[in-house]
Amino acid sequence: MRAAVVTEFSAPLELREIPVPEPGAHQVLVRMEACGICRTDIHIAHGDWPIRPALPLIPGHEGVGIVERVGAGVAASQVGHRVALPWLCSACGQCGFCLSGWKILCESQRNIGCTIDGGYAEYAVADARYAVPVPDGVPPLEAAPLTCAGVTSYKAVQAGRVGPGDCVAVFGVGGLGHLAIQYARQAGGFVTAVDVEAEKLDFARELGAEQVIDARTRDPAAVIRAQGGADVALALASTSSAYEHALRSLRRGGRLVRVCLPAGGIPPASTFDAVTRGISVIGSVVGTHQDLAEVFALHAAGRTAVTAEPRKLEEVNEAFAEVLANRARARLVIEY
């Protein structure tokens, strides 16, 4: 099978021909149909973070495909089903986090496309218990971005406890932001979308944002604070300035939800500001499998729109460059 492989941090991914993996006990072999390109994949491939994966590695944690074979202990009836292979691909199942529905915080978790090979290949194996069914009517090109960008923004809206009438500021209208706008509105929030590109701001309006602010020409935090301030700010752009703007945009008692990990580091939130203004700073990481099932159900019911642009596996390095240069309007998705 063809696979895009990280062989050295920051070097271009290598297109390789490698054997199709065998599904072991409790595993499924999935023939990939699509796999989204998340910024996390780029951070992993560049070794940007304190924890670096072992190489060689096949990235990809937005893989969607058809179960082609099953290993021991998996019902043969799973063959032919469409599944998504999200970031959390195994957990201990016994710790307090696992037992309380927070497997995504398990200290023994493994992550596809990071600790095991992921979806940048024609086939992938994964633990069947962590493969999430994709409902009929959700095409692979749309299911892939929902598998990380969708569930991450859905969870961020929940983590920010967005409720009816809340003023919600969404910083960054990319793969995460375009979905966060929709989830925040469904939770009853009034959305202000902030970006630095006119096209993305137009897109935010199409998705229902009540207000858009171009951060190149106006100070978004000043505008939002002059209107009373945001109840919830979602920092979804992968830049440190987005965090700073998001923090400053909040009203007293507001909530800042952090999701991205910019390569350049995160400016320390002003402790003085956070304390004296009663700001909550909340970290949120992807979401549970139940969250992903809900995200798929909303999409199958026509409640969300996903924009994705297909790319070929051979174009993966060019696609990384597009994402890094912010040239991608929304999610780029490798199609097989």
Per CB under 5 A, 38 contacts Zn ion: yes
Instruction: Give me the residue label for tokens 């999701």.
Output: 259
Per CB under 5 A, 91 contacts Zn ion: yes
Restricting to residues 145-184, name those near Zn ion by CB under 5 A. Answer: 148
Per CB under 5 A, 84 contacts Zn ion: no
Q: Smallest distance from the beta carbon of 334 to Zn ion, in angstroms?
A: 14
Sign of CA dihedral 294, 205, 157, 306: positive
Burial of 64 (0-12, 13-18, 19+ CB in 10 A): buried
Q: Smallest distance from the beta carbon of 244 to Zn ion, in angstroms?
A: 23
Q: Which is nearer to Zn ion, 156 or 230 (CB)?
A: 156
| Gap between the Cα atoms of 307 and 142, Å rounded | 7
Are the CB atoms for 172 and 238 separated by under 8 Å? yes
Per CB under 5 A, 95 contacts Zn ion: yes
Say whether the peptide bond before residue 262 is cis (omega within 30 degrees of 0).
Answer: no
Q: Which string of x and - marks every residue 119-148 that binds Zn ion (by CB under 5 A)?
A: -----------------------------x
* Span of 12-20, 24-32, 98-106, 319-327 interacting with Zn ion by CB under 5 A: 98-106
Instruction: Name the CA dihedral angle for 296, 257, 223, 206, rounded to a multiple of 10 degrees.
Output: -10
Per CB under 5 A, 106 contacts Zn ion: yes
Task: Give 51's contacts (C-beta < 8 A, 6+ positions apart).
Answer: none
| Gap between the Cα atoms of 129 and 260, Å rounded | 27
Q: Smallest distance from the beta carbon of 107 to Zn ion, in angstroms?
A: 7
> Number of residues in contact with Zn ion, rule: CB under 5 A?
8
| Gap between the Cα atoms of 43 and 51, Å rounded | 11
Per CB under 5 A, 44 contacts Zn ion: no
Per CB under 5 A, 92 contacts Zn ion: yes
Q: Which is nearer to Zn ion, 115 or 280 (CB)?
A: 115
Q: Which is nearer to Zn ion, 3 or 38 (CB)?
A: 38
Per CB under 5 A, 40 contacts Zn ion: yes
Helical ranges in 60-113 per DSSP H: 96-99
Instruction: Write out the residues near Zn ion by the rule CB under 5 A.
Output: 38, 40, 91-92, 95, 98, 106, 148
